[in-house]
Amino acid sequence: MKGLGFIELRDLSFEYKKDRPIINNLNLKIQKDEITAILGPNGSGKTTLGKLMMGILKPTEGQAFILNKDISEMTLAQIGSKIGYLFQNPEKQFFANRVEEELGFVSRLKGYDEDYLEDRIEGLLRLFQLEHVRKSSPLLLSQGEKQRLAIATILINEPKYLILDEPTTGLDGERKRLLVDLLKELVDRGIGMTIISHDHSFIKQLFQRVIRIYRGEVIYDQRI
Ligand SMILES: Nc1ncnc2c1ncn2[C@@H]1O[C@H](COP(=O)(O)OP(=O)(O)OP(=O)(O)O)[C@@H](O)[C@H]1O
Ligand SMILES: [Mg+2]
């Protein structure tokens, strides 16, 4: 077993409602250099686990760490500079009028250099094959384009790690293949990722480690 995990969960438990545990005393060490898949049936706690790994939810018991630092002592901005998080329904988060504005919005608020930002936006529009819709409203994009825009919007912050919750929702076979190629390219660029999914045919093209959860517990954990 390798040493320090990129993300570590120690004796982690979580309940939304008292005495209704969703995550049960879970221990997990996630490494940055292998693509980790989290699988499990509907309602098994995958999204909850992803949000605990990202610090969006606070554990009821136990701790979550990023690079050995307790997440509860980090701000969401600090976590966000290390990890990009794709929500299960990302289109709910779009708010700009145009795709190119959506991409640059948060970075502009943060006061990034405009020339640098424009270069990054161009690069991401190209990489994600969104150049033809750059002037469109994000809300009018196809499902696949929305999903690619959501991932591109995360990458503009240059996170070193991604947690993707059901990235293939609403994608057809062709769009899934496109997403597989894209994610492989990101891995080649040194970005690590955890992919939450119940889409086996998609995930098996990518993962190096697979973790199955059921009723908030790890029931299977294998590397290939
Ligand atoms: N905000 C909430 N308040 C109360 N219960 C919740 C909340 N969010 C999720 N749950 C419950 O927690 C359990 C786990 O939900 P979660 O969304 O983590 O599952 P999941 O594995 O991601 O499911 P899916 O495959 O459908 O996305 C479910 O029983 C769900 O009803
Ligand atoms: Mg889910």
pLDDT number for residue 3 = 60
Yes or no: say if 169 and 88 are a contact pair by the CB < 8 Å rule. Answer: yes
Yes or no: say if 15 and 60 are a contact pair by the CB < 8 Å rule. Answer: yes
Yes or no: say if 195 and 22 are a contact pair by the CB < 8 Å rule. Answer: no
- Distance from C-alpha of 197 to C-alpha of 50, rounded to nearest angstrom: 11
Yes or no: say if 62 and 25 are a contact pair by the CB < 8 Å rule. Answer: yes
Which portions of the chain are predicted below pLDDT 50? 1
Question: Could you tell me if residue 171 is inside a domain?
Answer: yes
Tokens 């009018």 appear where? Answer: 140
Question: Could you tell me if residue 109 is inside a domain?
Answer: yes
Closest Cα to atom 11 of ligand 1: 43
pLDDT number for residue 192 = 96
Bridge partners, 14 (sequence order): 23
- CATH at 55: 3.40.50.300
- Using CB distances shorter than 6 Å, the residues near ligand 1 are 16, 22, 40, 42-48, 88, 198
Question: Could you tell me if residue 172 is inside a domain?
Answer: yes
Tally of domains in the chain: 1
Yes or no: say if 197 and 40 are a contact pair by the CB < 8 Å rule. Answer: no
Closest Cα to atom 28 of ligand 1: 43
pLDDT number for residue 166 = 94
pLDDT digits (tens, 9 = 90+) for 135-150: 999 999 998 899 899 9
Question: Could you tell me if residue 2 is inside a domain?
Answer: no
Question: Could you tell me if residue 190 is inside a domain?
Answer: yes
The domain of 11 spans 7-223
Closest Cα to atom 7 of ligand 1: 16
pLDDT number for residue 18 = 94
pLDDT number for residue 1 = 46
Ligand 1: nearest atom to the Cα of 41 = 25
pLDDT digits (tens, 9 = 90+) for 48-57: 999 999 999 9
pLDDT number for residue 157 = 83
Question: Could you tell me if residue 1 is inside a domain?
Answer: no
**What is the 8-class DSSP label of residue 131?**
G
User: Pick from 30, 20, 16, 27: which is nearest to 62 by CA?
Assistant: 27
Helical (H) or strand (E) element with 168: none
